[in-house]
């Protein structure tokens, strides 16, 4: 049993790679999905966020108004840090629980924790290997402009607000470049998957 931490910058193609790995039989844990669970009414995360940022965040249906929350934290680094100090530990708890559960249910499967903030949040100890998906900054900007309807300045602002590719690669066990075509990306992922299978098989052969 091995747990891969799959990360990369915005518009790098993490989800595409995760989908390919799932096709090979990996069990995927999506940290973004877990993040949404943190804000659900009745959870510890919900209560902590409301207490920290105000009960005006709670809309008529009892859920947190994410747009209103965003207005309170975006462009305010100290407030963003305050929010991530609440949310990241809660996501970590959910991720750790899912990893434990999947290890029981799928003893021979590879588990992939897909998390954009894996390194920023300090979750390296949850995984056995770190796979980093990279892309040229210009390519990432083009994808953001096309996908999110941003202008070039907005796209570059989002990219520059994150950990740099160089910093991520310092932690990488596996590097996957996604600056070219989808076929090129798939060939790279297939190659890394086959190498992973060899790494998994080697200790087993010694027993």
Phi, psi of 27 (to 5 degrees): -95, 125
Among 170, 176, 171, which residue's Cα sits nearest to residue 195?
176
pLDDT per position as a tens digit, 187-199: 999 999 999 999 9
Amino acid 207: pLDDT: 56
Instruction: Give all strands of the β-sheet with 129-134 in edge-to-edge order.
Output: 27-30, 110-114, 2-8, 129-134, 174-177
pLDDT per position as a tens digit, 84-113: 999 999 999 999 999 999 999 988 899 999
What is the mean pLDDT of the segment spanning 108-126?
96
Among 15, 66, 25, which residue's Cα sits nearest to residue 45?
66
- pTM comes to 0.91
What the chain holds in terms of domains, given with CATH numbers, is 1-26+109-198 (3.40.50.300), 33-107 (3.40.50.300)
Q: What percent of the chain has pLDDT over 90?
A: 79
Amino acid 203: pLDDT: 66
Confidence of residue 148 (pLDDT cuts 50, 70, 90): confident
Instruction: Name the average pLDDT for the chain.
Output: 93
Distances (CA, A) of 144 to 29, 46, 89, 92, 151: 24, 30, 28, 27, 9
Amino acid 161: pLDDT: 83
Among 108, 93, 104, 87, which residue's Cα sits nearest to residue 38?
87
- At 13 the three-state DSSP class reads coil
């Amino acid at each position: 049993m091995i747990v891969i931490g799959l990360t990369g910058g915005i518009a790098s193609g993490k989800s595409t790679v995760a989908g390919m790995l799932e096709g090979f039989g990996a069990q995927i844990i999506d940290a973004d999905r877990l993040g949404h669970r943190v804000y659900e009414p009745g959870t510890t995360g919900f209560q902590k966020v409301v207490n920290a940022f105000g009960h005006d965040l709670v809309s008529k249906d009892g859920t947190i108004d994410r747009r209103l929350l965003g207005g309170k934290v975006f462009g305010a680094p100290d407030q963003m840090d305050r929010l991530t100090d609440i949310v990241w530990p809660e996501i970590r708890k959910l991720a750790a629980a899912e990893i434990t559960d999947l290890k029981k249910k799928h003893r021979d499967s590879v588990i992939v924790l897909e998390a954009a903030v894996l390194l920023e949040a300090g979750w390296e100890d949850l995984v056995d290997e770190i796979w980093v998906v990279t892309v040229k900054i210009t390519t990432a900007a083009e994808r953001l402009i096309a996908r999110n309807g941003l202008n070039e300045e907005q796209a570059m602002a989002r990219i520059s607000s994150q950990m740099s590719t160089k910093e991520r690669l310092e932690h990488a066990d596996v590097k996957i470049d996604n600056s070219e075509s989808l076929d090129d990306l798939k060939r790279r992922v297939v190659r890394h998957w086959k190498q992973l299978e060899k790494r998994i098989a080697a200790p087993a052969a010694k027993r």
